[in-house]
Every structure is written in C-alpha cells, then in structure tokens.
Chain A
C-alpha cells in the first residue's frame, strides 16, 4: 500500500468516506511531507499547521456526526498566495505585501472552507503572478521536485511543485497567460484554466482582470474535475462571473477514462508547431496525438493565423491592466511603507516604497503598461491589442466549427535551469506562446503530462483547448489520454525522490 500522500484526492476522499483514514491523519501526513521537503522546494510561503489540523478535526467530527458532507470534505488543499485568505498572510509573492493578513476571504477561499477542505497553507509564486519560472518571487525561487536545479514553471510554481512533491493532493492556481498550465507541464502534473468568468475572481489579487482565472492544480484529471466543480459557479461579488455554472466535469472525466474518443474531432494547431518547439517535447506530443487516434479521435491540422500576434497583444493588455491594478500598493493603507530621510511627503513615500517593494519584472510591466495607456499611444498599443483579441476570438470560433478541441504542446521546452532566463524578459515571455491565446479569448484549457523527455528526463505537457463554457470536453479528452498513457507507462510518472519516506 502506498502512503496516503501519494493517493489522489479522489482516493483520499474515498478512504475518508469508508473510514479507512481520518482527515487529521491525512493532514498530518501532508504536513510531515511539507516539513521534510519544503526546505529544498520553497513551494509553501506559509504553512498553517494548527489551522489545518483544527479544520481536519472539525471535518472528522462532522463525518462522525453523520452530517451531509461535500465529496472532498477533509481532503487537504493548498492555495496560491494570490488569493485572499482571512487570517492567513497573503503576499502575492511580493515584498510590498509582506505580512499583510486580509480581513476577508476570497469567494473561492470561502467555498473551500464551506466544503470542509483543510487549508495547508499558501504557495509561492512569481511576484503578482508575473513570470514563467517562479524566480520572480520576492521570497526566493521554487525548485522543481524533478530536479532541484530547474525551475518549476510559473507563475504558479509553488502550487505545481507542492502537488508534484506530494505536499498536497490539490492546489489552487491562477492562470493569466499560462500560470496554471505551464507549471503543470514543467512538473508532470495536471493544470486547468477554466472558462473566463466560470470561477469567481473575488479575492484574487488582480494581475490582468480580463485574463485572470483561478483553476485546479492536481495530479489527475478526475481530481481537477472535482476541484473545479467545487470552486466554480456564479458569484454575485464578481461582475464578470458567468451566470450559469460550468457543469458535468466529473462525469466527463469518468466517461473519458473509459477510453473511447470515437467521433471526437481534434485539431492540431498549425501555428503552435515549428522551430520554437524543442524536439523532445514534440516527440512526446506526437506520441500523445497518435494515442488519441488510437482511441478513435479524428485528428486534423487547423490554422489560427492570428495566434502569431497573441504574445504581442498579451504583453500590451496585461501590463496596461496591471499598471492600474498595482497602483493601489502605495504604502498608505496597507503593505510596506518605506519613509525616506527628512520630512517626506505622501508622494515621496509612495515613490520610495513602490521602488523598494516591487521587483524588476513588476516595474518593467508597470512602465510598459503606463506607456501603452498614455494618451498619444492608446490607439496604437492598447486599442490595437484589443482588436487582436477580437481576431483571435474569431479564429477560435472558426476553428471550433470544424473541430471539438484543439491540441498543442503546453510549453516549448522542458524545465530550464534556474537563472538561465532570469534577466532576459523576452526569452521568458516566449514560454507562454501556446498558453496565452486561451486567456485572450476566455476559452478553457487543460495541461496534462505527456511523458518524460528523452533528452533530459524531465516531464512534458500536452494542452487541450475547448470553446467557451465547454470545459467538460477538456476533461473527457484529458481523462482518456491520461488513462491510455498510464496504461502505456505502467503507472503515474512522478519525481521519484519526492515520494513518501514512509512508503
């Protein structure tokens, strides 16, 4: 029998239901793993051991009392530090928010608490979710459990690494241009960016409001479906929340796991192939595509020509929105206040505090955004980027007339060495080539492991995209491919050195 921490969330839930284990035992096992491994990984910024154990005990008491329980009641979870958690520090990976403890819960936090999942703590991230490597965290880089010298992806490297290293079976991520999916690919885990507006953003420290979306980080497709159904649904506190819940995700995952994809039309994106994609990633991708064919899917190539402009549009829209969002961090009401010598004015204190509290990438994006919104440049930059967005949405609509889902590698390469691209913003931005279009168009996307690179032994990911509100399609095709690949591999792939010491 493998240790509890290596079980999937669904298995842990089943064991709780059957009385095989208690929530306190599960939480303690994960806390032990965190204690043993977080020194190396730096995946958690804050661990709430006593709070999690208290919530676990309450869950066990509810179960003993025979109260009606959510399916995941008692299964522990980790939350990316971008989401407000009342009473727990929330920093978004930035020095400017060091020590800030929100007096309120974000909607997803509240839903997690209401469903009874003990919260293990807050996971590390690139500062304000700006980055693809987690090196931009003010609290130190997260290390990839597969190889401690490699990045875990970003911005949600903490959540992905925590799930990969069995520190938590479930974690919340946020995806603005790939921050759930790309770390999933880098760490051999599953990451889903749901349809825009289908999971509440209330309480999410905004990076780019029109792109941000919370989603699940897990080790299996079914676990992701369980978590997305838990956190999703309409929220009156979020004006951009879609009115109807995205449903049928768990059912789609179970259906997909049966392995029949006959009749499913899969489009390989022409624009997400070529020299930018490393051979080892493409090798695993091609292999997965042929598995899809074996499962009965019709695979064709489709072209979405405006994708070539996606990155440029993204790196104008995002900085513009974030330059305005981050203005609130001004040392007046909360957060870091640095007071220079003499008799400084509020303006001086704002300037100095923001210089001291923000890292380089944040400053770069604020300045670019300020420029893009300036009156003389608005039309040429922000206005034009919004039009590109329309073209990309049109491309998706056209493509989904002929196929049910689109597919591409999640990221152009496997995890690179820490430091390699740290001061080369453009090289870093190129890592999000495949993930950005989904955010611009609001469509859902999933990344699942496609295997291990023949070149460096690190995991690779494959991404599926579906039309808006059709998240269930991702779960069906994802679960089918996952089941077939597990079969082929003879079990899950994982960072062997991070399996439980008690196993």
Chain B
C-alpha cells in the first residue's frame, strides 16, 4: 500500500478544487493514510472472473419520451446565484481556454 505524501494529497485536493492550508494538510494527510490502509485490504480479493456491480438492482433502457416539460423561470434559476447580471450567472474571470 503506497503511502500518500503531502504533495500527493495537495495534488488530489487540487484536482478536487479544495484550497487546503498547510495546517489542514498536516491534519488530514495522516488520517487519509490510515483510511487508505484500512481499505487497501480489498486489493486482490476478487479475481478476474468476478463481474463488477455498479448498480444493485439490474435494470436497462430507462428512457424518457422526447416531450418538453416546463422549465424554471429565470428568477427561479438564478434565485440561488451568488451574483447575476442580465439574467445570467455572473462568475469571476475564467482561466485557460474556451471549452
């Protein structure tokens, strides 16, 4: 079981967009390793012949007809917005590229 270094924890927090302080890293990193150590026991328990289960009740083909349903009003849609402008969500400047 590889131990997560402080840098790895920082990298994971970064991927998850959480700005961990040094104090938080000190506090959380050892706990994360204890947890990982305890869950590592499952490695190798089930072989290649075992099919993974992603959903406890097997079902397929659950579809919706292509029929329009009422949308929210812009007031409802924006009711929780930290900031809004011209009926749009206002967000701070975006780094990087257009999608």
Contacts and interface: CB of A to CB of B under 8 A. Distances in A.
A/B contact in complex, CB under 8 angstroms: yes
Interface stretch (A129-137, A281-289, A308-316, A398-406): A308-316
B45 A354 contact: no
A389 B55 CA distance: 9
Interface in A99-133: 100-101, 103-104
Most buried by A among B16, B62, B94: B16
B16 A332 contact: no
Contact of A387 (B18, B50, B59, B62): B50
Nearest to A391: B46
Interface of A, secondary structure class, is helix
Nearest to A390: B53
Contact of A240 (B9, B32, B57): B57
A331 interface: yes
Nearest to B15: A370
A98 to B, nearest CB: 11
Contacts of B18: 351, 354-355, 358, 363, 366-367
Most buried by A among B4, B64, B91, B92: B92
A146 interface: no
Interface in B1-39: 4, 9, 12-21, 24, 27-28, 31-32, 34-36, 38-39
Interface in A382-427: 383-391, 393, 423, 425-426
Contacts, number: 180
Interface string A311-331: 111011000000100010011
B42 interface: yes
Given A354-B18, A388-B45, A390-B46, A371 B36 contact: yes
Contacts of B55: 210, 240
B56 A440 contact: yes
B76 interface: yes
B16 A346 contact: no
B43 to A, nearest CB: 5
Contact of A100 (B31, B80, B95): B80
Contact of A196 (B9, B36, B57, B72): B57
A315 B38 contact: yes
A204 interface: no
B4 A371 contact: yes
Contacts of A426: 34-35, 38
Interface in A180-234: 195-197, 210
Contacts of A236: 64
18 contacts: A101-B79, A101-B80, A236-B64, A240-B55, A330-B17, A331-B82, A334-B81, A339-B92, A345-B93, A354-B17, A355-B18, A355-B20, A363-B28, A366-B16, A367-B13, A368-B39, A426-B34, A426-B38
Given A103-B77, A367-B16, A442-B57, 19 more contacts: A240-B55, A240-B57, A332-B82, A346-B94, A347-B17, A351-B14, A364-B28, A364-B35, A366-B18, A367-B18, A367-B32, A368-B36, A374-B12, A380-B43, A386-B52, A387-B45, A390-B50, A425-B31, A429-B35
Interface of A: 100-101, 103-104, 195-197, 210, 236, 239-240, 242-243, 309, 311-313, 315-316, 323, 327, 330-337, 339, 343-352, 354-355, 358, 360, 363-364, 366-368, 370-371, 374, 380-381, 383-391, 393, 423, 425-426, 429, 440-442, 468
